[in-house]
Amino acid sequence: MDKHLPHKQGLYDPDYEHDSCGVGFVCNIKGNKSNSIIIDGLKILNRLSHRGAVGSDPDTGDGAGILIQTPDEFFRKAASLAKINLPLYGQYGTGLVFFPREEKERLFCKDVFKKVVQEEGQGILGWRQVPVDNSVIGKVARETEPVIEQVFIKRNPGLNDEVAFERKLYIIRKIIENTIRTSKLRQRAFFYITNISMRTFSYKGLLMPHQLGQYFLDLKDESLASAIALVHSRYSTNTFPTWDLAQPFRFLAHNGEINTLRGNINWFGAKERLLESPLFGEDIEKVKPVVVPGGSDSAAIDNACELLLLSGRSLAHTMMMLIPGAWEDNNLLDEEVKAFHQYHVCLMEPWDGPASIAVTDGKSIGAILDRNGLRPSRYIVTKDQRVIMASEVGVLDTLPSEIEYSGRLTPGKIFLIDTIQGRIIHDEEIKVKVSTQKPYKQWLKDNIIELKDLPSFPTKEKSNDILTDLKAFGYTREDLKSIIKPMAETAKEPTGSMG
């Protein structure tokens, strides 16, 4: 549990925390990178200010952030100023790290970083002090402000695949997190890795939306360019705002809440011993626990999303697994799609609840709404090949003459833009493609066993021990006396009082 959050006490339990926030993105469909996309992303974030929240300190927000594609040109310039020689794009990974303010604790964390990176066959190119202006943030945010540095990790030439490098960076981050979390340091100091990736980069913190672009001075540089900008303004409904729980996370930003969270986390933990992947091999043990203890519901689903994506699934496949549409009693649904969901429900429980989620892997970006459609999300496609999506309309000033078409996310449907292919991929095409990649119908036919098809066995003799039978089915002596007996004798609803 994060040291900024209270421990379980009285009627408060941190396990029941959830959020209700503002989320949005803007992207160039053709994948053309520009500084204007980042500027538009920050504009969207500012227009979502009402979705965020503040506490007793009016200048400290619940959190805000932006996730963009790795701005190679800018990082090359910034790294040279820090006397770091960067290799070609794709040959290094980078990310922000929130360090403790005490120098001795910070050095301990860096030593762990160096040791783990070397043991995993990669190399640290150097550290860059990230320029910030904390005069624009609130008193509470300054009191908990970490030291923010940027790490650059060199890719081993033996890793000749981009996704393999992303997977290695994930493993490195998980080992570092686990090492520091279980150390004595973690009991008293704040340490958090926002993201380490070759493809994406995140700026976030305990900020208000309008403070983000002022606090991180990098965001003022015109050489910063991306084709994707995913933003989030946090409203922590029942939780305590912290630097690490600001969003976007590594892959997604979330508006809503996961009502099935405790069950999702428990099932994930129960199934971890069964995890195996030819892509991870023995390294799969290093990423456990997959869901980091003490995170929010949004952080937990991001943890799950990360593992599924890096184990070889596409972004669309992962979204269909995590938040499936209503399929069981939908007779209009394609049989192949039904078979996909029936197969995957054996592997992954749905993360259910009123939720709108925007997600990106750095190449594609999309959004999905929960099966009941209980969170608003609208989008605009412009004639200059931009897509603007947010929790409401009006996040960017767009003339009607500039709009190609507009719409809204509908329950259980996926909205996806592939910047490599340079097109919007519609829900029906996505689901047909994903559900026909493997013979799910045949796998179900060969392996699923229906309870009604099991052979029957003779029942045992009836027991005279009624209380034992009642206990076996979850009833107590009090249930029998106060509820069942009165209902059986008088055919009336039982009445009672507590206290």
Annotated catalytic residues are 21
Residues ≥6 apart with Cβ < 8 Å to 195: 67, 95, 96, 201, 202, 249, 250
Question: Residue 263 and residue 349: Cα distance in Å, rounded?
Answer: 8
Question: Residue 428 and residue 445: Cα distance in Å, rounded?
Answer: 24
At 183, list the tokens. 């150390």
Distance of CA 278 to the CA centre of its chain: 24
Neighbour order of strands in the sheet with 252-256: 252-256, 355-360, 364-369, 414-418, 423-425
Distance of CA 116 to the CA centre of its chain: 24
Strand (E) or helix (H) holding 79: helix 72-81
In one letter, which amino acid is 363?
Answer: K
Q: Which among 284, 303, 390 has a CA at the least distance from the CA of 50?
A: 390
Longest dimension (CA), the chain: 86
Question: Residue 393 and residue 215: Cα distance in Å, rounded?
Answer: 27
At 129, list the tokens. 């002090």
Sign for the pseudo-dihedral over CA of 72, 76, 82, 87: positive
Say if strands 423-425 and 414-418 run parallel, antiparallel, or are unpaired. antiparallel
373: left (phi > 0), else alpha (psi -120 to 50), else beta? Answer: left
Neighbour order of strands in the sheet with 123-129: 123-129, 147-154, 92-99, 192-193
In one letter, which amino acid is 45?
Answer: L
What is the tally of helices (H) and strands (E) in the chain?
A: 15, 16
Q: State yes or no: cis peptide before 289, omega within 30 of 0.
A: yes
Which residue stretches of 331-475 are H helix?
A: 335-344, 427-435, 440-447, 466-472
At 336, list the tokens. 């192949």
